[in-house]
Amino acid sequence: MASYAADLQQVCGCGWAVTGSNTEELVAKVKKHAKETHGINELPQELVQKFQKAVRPAM
Ligand SMILES: [Zn+2]
């Protein structure tokens, strides 16, 4: 059951939406997405901060 969601439009600009039961799970999914979709092996601190601002509790 997802309790957190993030709209990555503000992070990587592709509009991919991620959901997870906790923020650690979200970060893991974002890292996987960044690597597989954008070829980013190591998430830059700048993107991590943008991502953390984009995280919202999901209904
Ligand atoms: Zn993306």
CA of residue 31 to ligand 1 center, whole Å:
10
CA of residue 35 to ligand 1 center, whole Å:
9
Q: What is the pLDDT of residue 18?
A: 94
Question: In tens digits, what is the pLDDT along the chain, a chain of 59 residues?
Answer: 679 999 999 889 998 999 999 999 999 999 999 999 999 999 999 999 999 999 999 87
Q: Is the pTM of this model over 0.95?
A: no
CA of residue 37 to ligand 1 center, whole Å:
6
CA of residue 59 to ligand 1 center, whole Å:
23
Q: What is the pLDDT of residue 53?
A: 93
The ranges assigned to domains in the chain are 4-57
* Helices and strands (H and E) in the chain: how many: 2, 3
Residue keyed to tokens 């954008």: 38
Q: What is the pLDDT of residue 10?
A: 85
Order across the sheet with 17-20: list the strands: 17-20, 4-7, 55-57
